[in-house]
Structure 1
Amino acid sequence: MTDTLLIAAYALVAGGVVGAAGAAVLRLLRGRSILTHIVVLLAVTVLAVVAGVATVARAMFLSGHDMRVVLLTVCAAALVSLAVGVIFGRRLAAAAVWAQQARDRERRLEAGRRELVAWVSHDLRTPLAGMRAMAEALEDGIVADPATVAEYHRRLRVETDRMTRLVDDLFELSRINAGALRLVPTTVPLREVVSDAIAGVAPLAAGKRVTLVAAETGWPTVRGGERELARVVTNLLVNSVRYTPADGTVHIDAGRGRDGVWLAVSDTCGGIPDGDLDRVFDIAFRGERARTPDEQPGGGGGLGLAIVRGLVEAHGGRVGVRNTGGGCRFEVRLPAG
């Protein structure tokens, strides 16, 4: 019993010295990654075991051969333990990074939802107040001039269309954020999608005296949801037309690269401030424009580009924007079918 207690004491002292040194090292590495902490912790544990075994073996007056056998066995086990610990530590560190990214994304989404509610409340309250005032004026007979009555009716229709588009955008965005978007992939000729989108945006462009130009050749086909891809192209065209001054040009072309299909919409809007380039696809972001929607057809709630990003990412692609000479270029990249 006395020998057993003595051996335990030797092992505890040797392991305690290594453990104290390890604690000091961990204290110095407080700001390092979780993988570093796990590796140091495993190394301290293994060294404590090695130190305890070596101390006990020496106290037992083992022969040189037996001492080497014991130390080699312990070191081999220590190397295996360290290797397994490093692998586990990397996975744990990756999981921690993923969890932090998920928390950051959730915070961004929550902030975006709060901002969206505030902006949508503003965009709905303003036209509703005007519509109510015009409806009451018509109902009470305050306006009787035919021209004024016709103008009131026109304004009511315009505001109703605007709110309908806003509600449609909210519904689409809610489907994307809730993961309820279900694509029906088909082989989609981009030329036909772009032609239909240009035809739909043509009245808006004509009203602003903006020229729409599409490339003549080089149009590939892509595998994806036809309705969703049409929404992407339409939203990009509407956005470029709205921010392009009169007598400007919006150009759209596409092609196939080594990593898939690309589609680009370029305009002469004058460029986007560098600080806003990373935010143009955020929900309800409108840059320096006033929050009140303009009266032109196509005025939206600042959700068009957010919907574009959501739909493109649902296809496994990505979308970006960069400034060019006198304007900016929105580029969508989709994986090969």
Structure 2
Amino acid sequence: MNTFRARLMFALLLIIVTVLTALGLLLGSLMNEMNMEQTVDRLQKETKLLALQINPLDEDQSLDVYIEEASKQLDARITVINDEGAVIAESHASYESSTVDYLQRPEIRNAGVDDTAEVRTSESVNEEMLYYAEPIGNGENVEGFVRMALNIEHIHEATGRVWLFIGISFSAALLIIMILGYRVGHQLTRPIYELTEMSKQLVKGNYKARAYDDSSDEIGQLARSVNLLALNLDKTTRRYEREHDRLRALIDHMGSGSFLTATGSSVQTELEEKSLLMEKNSKGYITKLYPIKPLTLFNRVYDRRKQARSITLVTSPAKESYYEVYGTPIMSERSELEGVVIVLHDISDLKRLEQMRKDFVANVSHELKTPVTSLKGFAETLLDGSHEDPVIRKQFLEIIGKESSRLQDLIEDLLELSRIEHHTFQLHPSAFFLTEVISESLTLLHKKAEKKHIRLEERFHEEMEMVGDAARIKQLVINLVTNAIVYTPENGHVTVEAFRDEESHRCVIQVKDNGIGIDEQSLPRIFERFYRVDRARSRNSGGTGLGLAIVKHLVEAQQGTITAESTVNKGTTFTVRLPCSVTNETNRVPKSEALVR
């Protein structure tokens, strides 16, 4: 007993006995449950068959005869109960007292609800019986119940025989297992233990775990197969993760809305629920949903099994949005339609650009037509004989000259705007003093301001040096001040202020006037081409309607921003913010050279 073999055999014997005992108990229980399930299944089928044949209830002599005959054939006790709980037919003469409320029996309460059977000791025969009941009638119209009962003594007898067989078989098996187990136990334990540990690592996600067994038997083959499985899982997992990351990155950055819908009767509801555009507030919270209706496109893709596209308009209180909707069918390997992918592209900006192009062409045509019409009209009048009158001739020629200058200014502004917007447009940055450029610009506009008795003022906090295109900055200052002079009444004043914003490290130019101001509706559109707050005043002053548009493009070309603040009848303030840092690599050019470049 003290030897290693004895201790091993004792431990092995204890384990085998325990295992065989547990296995015997399990098999015995399974066989008992199997016999019971077969008996219950037979009882259920026979009871349901009787319930179908006893419908409707008949309390005459024929029902008793039929129940008694069926009881003999089925070797079971049969009881027919009406919906009030009274027994109207019984296969055995010694059935329970009619005063018993059969409706409270478990099998009666469960009838029609589930298929469970009830095992209990019968009070009339004092034997353990298996009961099952089935309602008589269709649907909720239950007219009564038919109950069958079987004596389960034969099940206990069969179970006893099973236990005897299991005991003899397991005793013989124990002897054989002990003889063979001692020899193979140790050889099998070690590799199986290694495989078990490896499988645990695989469950945890460690696909680099490996089992080491060089034998050529089944255990060795199993170890190599598990190693190969771990290698394939590692490769598959990494490939799946890469594909998942790529797909997620693609979906997150595709810039389009998309969803997939399956085919079926709920397609319309599914599309209506999923086709929503979200409106968010400044904090990113969803405040409202606006639906899109791509059902027509879906039906087209579904019917034709081909790609389709359409353009839909979504209207919200804030704006109108256009979406190009693409539908693509998802076909299986058997060429069956499994679903449809719907992709939404926001083309609102393209639509707005197209509308801006149309408006631009219409505005250019209108602006060119006005001076050309004037030139043609006055020229025809002079040709018809008015040139002989020196007063009229001089007046008409002055008007023709004025309209020609206006036409020339319009064409020059159009060409200038086209050059700025072209991709080949380049700035010529250099270091210069911003205050000198502003002063030079105001000097050029003094005569124009004096005609309206407008006072031009400049305010500089310091001598400001910056890097930029001096000629373009001078151009935008002239355009802003000219615009202020046009919309400022006589005896008004225009102030140009320049200072350095230490927080943003930018040079700021502000042009302030006390003119007519701009209303809130017009303020967001003042940088559009040909948009005028007061068209009559602008035309009389010779403006082209392109000055502020040119200013905006010049500011953006130098990585700057421009904003406007205005109050009606009080004045307007334009604020330009430009980068003003000077790098060591930039050489400052003389003032005169920077301005004439």
TM-score calculated relative to the size of structure 2: 0.41
User: How has the CA–CA distance of structure 1 residues 143 and 204 changed in structure 2, closer, same or farther, with 3 Å as cutoff?
Assistant: same
- 2:382 paired residue number: 138
* 1:243 and 2:487 matched: yes
Q: Tell me, in whole angstroms, the C-alpha distance in 2 between the residues paired with 1:187 and 1:107.
A: 41
Q: Tell me, in whole angstroms, the C-alpha distance in 2 between the residues paired with 1:336 and 1:102.
A: 37
- 2:118 paired residue number: none
Q: Which has the higher relative contact order, 1 or 2, with Cα contacts under 8 A spaced 6 or more apart?
A: 1
- 1:295 paired residue number: 540
Report the alpha carbon displacement of residue 316 of structure 1 after superposing the two structures with TM: 1.0
Which amino acid in 2 is paired with 1:171? L
- 1:320 paired residue number: 563
User: How has the CA–CA distance of structure 1 residues 180 and 121 changed in structure 2, closer, same or farther, with 3 Å as cutoff?
Assistant: same
Report the alpha carbon displacement of residue 92 of structure 1 after superposing the two structures with TM: 5.5
Q: Deviations over 1:134-181 (max 9, x none)?
A: 122223322433222222121111111111111111111111222232
- 2:552 paired residue number: 309
Of the structure 1 ranges 76-85 and 175-184, higher mean CA displacement relative to structure 2 is found in: 76-85
Q: Tell me, in whole angstroms, the C-alpha distance in 1 between the residues paired with 2:501 and 2:460.
A: 18
Return the match for 2:252 from 93, 105, 111.
93
User: How has the CA–CA distance of structure 1 residues 272 and 247 changed in structure 2, closer, same or farther, with 3 Å as cutoff?
Assistant: same
* 1:70 and 2:203 matched: yes
- 1:214 paired residue number: 458
Report the alpha carbon displacement of residue 91 of structure 1 after superposing the two structures with TM: 6.7
- 1:56 paired residue number: none
What SS class does the counterpart of residue 377 from structure 2 fall into?
Answer: helix
- 1:332 paired residue number: 576
Q: Tell me, in whole angstroms, the C-alpha distance in 1 between the residues paired with 2:488 and 2:437.
A: 22
Q: Tell me, in whole angstroms, the C-alpha distance in 1 between the residues paired with 2:580 and 2:532.
A: 32
Instruction: State, as a whole percentage, how many aligned pairs show the same letter.
Output: 30
* 1:271 and 2:525 matched: no
- 1:42 paired residue number: none
* 1:282 and 2:528 matched: yes
* 1:202 and 2:446 matched: yes
User: How has the CA–CA distance of structure 1 residues 226 and 119 changed in structure 2, closer, same or farther, with 3 Å as cutoff?
Assistant: same
Query: Paired residues, what number?
Result: 271
Q: Tell me, in whole angstroms, the C-alpha distance in 2 between the residues paired with 1:161 and 1:101.
A: 46
* 1:120 and 2:364 matched: yes
- 1:15 paired residue number: none
Answer whether contact 1:317 1:335 (CA < 8 A) is retained. Answer: yes
Of the structure 1 ranges 254-263 and 194-203, higher mean CA displacement relative to structure 2 is found in: 194-203
Return the match for 1:129 from 347, 355, 373.
373
Query: Which structure shows the bigger proportion of residues in strand conformation?
Result: 2
Structure 2: gaps spanning 5 or more residues = 1-194, 208-232, 257-343, 582-597
Q: Deviations over 1:52-95 (max 9, x none)?
A: xxxxxxxxxx8476145234237999699669856874576345
User: How has the CA–CA distance of structure 1 residues 216 and 254 changed in structure 2, closer, same or farther, with 3 Å as cutoff?
Assistant: closer
Q: Tell me, in whole angstroms, the C-alpha distance in 2 between the residues paired with 1:226 and 1:314.
A: 13
User: How has the CA–CA distance of structure 1 residues 106 and 215 changed in structure 2, closer, same or farther, with 3 Å as cutoff?
Assistant: same
Q: Tell me, in whole angstroms, the C-alpha distance in 2 between the residues paired with 1:223 and 1:323.
A: 30
* 1:187 and 2:431 matched: yes
Q: Tell me, in whole angstroms, the C-alpha distance in 2 between the residues paired with 1:83 and 1:249.
A: 66
User: How has the CA–CA distance of structure 1 residues 282 and 91 changed in structure 2, closer, same or farther, with 3 Å as cutoff?
Assistant: farther
Query: Which structure shows the bigger proportion of residues in helix conformation?
Result: 1
Report the alpha carbon displacement of residue 270 of structure 1 after superposing the two structures with TM: 3.6
Q: Deviations over 1:216-248 (max 9, x none)?
A: 543412211122111100111111111112222
- 1:55 paired residue number: none
Return the match for 1:230 from 471, 474, 482.
474
What SS class does the counterpart of residue 73 from structure 1 fall into?
Answer: coil
What SS class does the counterpart of residue 96 from structure 1 fall into?
Answer: coil
Structure 1: gaps spanning 5 or more residues = 1-61
TM-score calculated relative to the size of structure 1: 0.70
Answer whether contact 2:518 2:567 (CA < 8 A) is retained. Answer: no
User: How has the CA–CA distance of structure 1 residues 145 and 91 changed in structure 2, closer, same or farther, with 3 Å as cutoff?
Assistant: same
Q: Deviations over 1:19-60 (max 9, x none)?
A: xxxxxxxxxxxxxxxxxxxxxxxxxxxxxxxxxxxxxxxxxx
